[in-house]
Structure 1
Amino acid sequence: MRPASKPGFTDAQLATAWQAASLLLGYPDEELLGRRPLLRRAAIALPAPAGTPLTRFLDHLDATPPPDLAADYVATFDHRKRCCLYLTYYAYGDTRKRGMALLRFKQAYQAAGLVLDDTELPDHLAVVLEFAATGDLAEGRRLLLEYRAGLELLCLALTESASPWTAVLDAVAATLPPLTGRTEDAVARLIAEGPPEEQVGLAPYGPGAADSGPVLLPDPVFGGRS
């Protein structure tokens, strides 16, 4: 059964919101900052639950010097495990199960005719949003919903640290159905227990894990089909 979208969003609007969020979760380099006018036009055209927080974050980009943006991004996403952008980390930590989950992400992309180079893991939230927006909207939405608990935990961590990137996560959450009791229970369990800690690496995702080798794609992550 196809998961229901948030009321008030067409598929085209979902794709626009997810593409904008994907870009805004990237490192704030000159290329991203140069896209601000286009991203602002996209945000203004979206329903308010997604468009307003995206516009608020773009206001922050406009008002903050680029070196400060870069330093804040690194401090937030590279130095805080609780703000990890890799969705499977929250459910599996660094365990063998995470390696298999990563492989399932890669296989979902390949089934849509898209491949990912080895410079990025396939569960990075920006990559998943890019796939949902440009590859397979229904499958991308399924992945977001499957890892909704991790997504909510990331949003909570950003909110607690008063991070401006909270607005981007708020926009993503606005495109998804309301939380169910089961997801709320999963979030509570993750808060109480944290990710598993079996330190065995991600070998199941490494070379030989999939049938076909990677193909380098242009930026953004998915720019072509195999």
Structure 2
Amino acid sequence: MSPLPATIPALVRTRVRAAVRRRARLTPEEAEARALLLRLCSLLLQYPDAELASARPELTAAVEALPPSPAAGHLAAHTTWLSAQEPEALERHYVEMFDLRRKSSLYLTYYLHGDTRRRGMALLTLNQRYRAAGWDTAAGELPDHLPVVLEFAALAGPGGGEAPLRQHRRGLELIHRALTDANSPYRHVLAALLTLLPPPTDADRAAVALLVAEGPPNEEVGLDPYGTYGQGEFAPPGTFVPPMPAPATQVPPAAPTATRTEGTR
């Protein structure tokens, strides 16, 4: 594309460039297909409990029925692996990939804000976005959990619904890289998701490299002011570290009873 003439006011040039970059509006059929892809990604990234394991034939059939696309190809690779595994092996692999490794945790605000006060505010903002759209998350799960974010994107549509995914694209890149390094088949689900988002910029790639090298920001403040969510306070993703035991309660000895001594008369 040839550069715009310098005589065009800066504001006009900016708007023209934005129009060039703007994605064409989806047809109803395309929007429906995109929502199905997002919903399948959400299901395939949930914990493979007995209910999900028993639904593997239906999930595989739904993926096979997708129109040909890069995302459909990635999901087919994942469901092929998923169908061949024993349920117990699926559960162990899921826990190892997503519960015991910080670089492939599914809690997106962690990658952007780490363990800082800003993360608590980001969780509040995300939850408010859901409520403003008339959608309430299931109790017991944080609003930045990737399957929750994907379900919201599928329900609310490509504009505001997918905004949290675009905002956390760098975290998604890091998860995909970590799963690829671990040779986990879950990398295919992240790869499918990334094909639905705008391509990464040079700044995105540099930020991901910095995350790999240094990790997210850190601050000893927990998640306040977000506080508790669901059944209790959220512990940042990673290997569980039990709290330090409380010191034993020291019971002071009882004070001696004052005894009145009468002198000898």
TM-score bracket, normalised by the shorter chain, equals: 0.7 to 0.9
Q: How does 1:42-61 map to 2 (within 5 A)?
A: 42-44=62-64, 45-61=66-82
Equivalence for 2:239:
none
Residue 3 (structure 1) shift: 6.1
Q: Which amino acid counterpart does residue 16 of structure 1 have in structure 2?
A: L
Q: Which amino acid counterpart does residue 146 of structure 1 have in structure 2?
A: Q
Q: Secondary structure at the match of 1:139?
A: coil
Q: Secondary structure at the match of 1:202?
A: coil
CA contact (8 A) 1:56 1:167 kept: yes
Equivalence for 1:26:
46
Equivalence for 1:17:
37
Q: Does 2:169 align with 1:148?
A: yes
User: 2: distance between equivalents of 1:161 and 1:24?
Assistant: 18
Q: What TM-score do the two structures reach when normalised by structure 1?
A: 0.85
| Identical pairs, percent | 47
Moved over 4 A (4+): none
Q: Does 2:124 align with 1:103?
A: yes
CA contact (8 A) 2:57 2:83 kept: no
User: 2: distance between equivalents of 1:4 and 1:42?
Assistant: 27
User: Which of 182, 190, 197 is 2:218 aligned to?
Assistant: 197
Residue 140 (structure 1) shift: 2.5
Q: How does 1:64-213 map to 2 (within 5 A)?
A: 64-206=85-227
Greater relative contact order structure (CA < 8 Å, 6+ sep): 1
Q: Does 2:61 align with 1:41?
A: yes
CA contact (8 A) 1:89 1:195 kept: yes
User: 2: distance between equivalents of 1:113 and 1:97?
Assistant: 25
CA contact (8 A) 2:31 2:157 kept: no
Q: Which amino acid counterpart does residue 224 of structure 2 have in structure 1?
A: A
Deviations 1:85-142 (A, max 9, x none): 0011011111100001111110110111011244111001110001001234422311
Residue 193 (structure 1) shift: 2.0
Q: Which amino acid counterpart does residue 183 of structure 1 have in structure 2?
A: D
Larger Rg: 2
CA contact (8 A) 2:115 2:217 kept: yes
User: 2: distance between equivalents of 1:164 and 1:156?
Assistant: 12
Query: Unaligned regions of 5+ residues in structure 1, if any?
Result: 215-226
Q: For the structure 1 residues 12 and 3, does the alpha-carbon distance in structure 2 shift closer, same or farther, using more than 3 Å as the test? A: farther
Write 1 or 2 for the structure with the bigger share of helix. 1
Residue 36 (structure 1) shift: 2.3
User: 1: distance between equivalents of 2:108 and 2:130?
Assistant: 16
CA contact (8 A) 2:60 2:80 kept: no
User: 1: distance between equivalents of 2:75 and 2:108?
Assistant: 21
CA contact (8 A) 1:87 1:147 kept: yes
Q: For the structure 1 residues 85 and 46, does the alpha-carbon distance in structure 2 shift closer, same or farther, using more than 3 Å as the test? A: farther
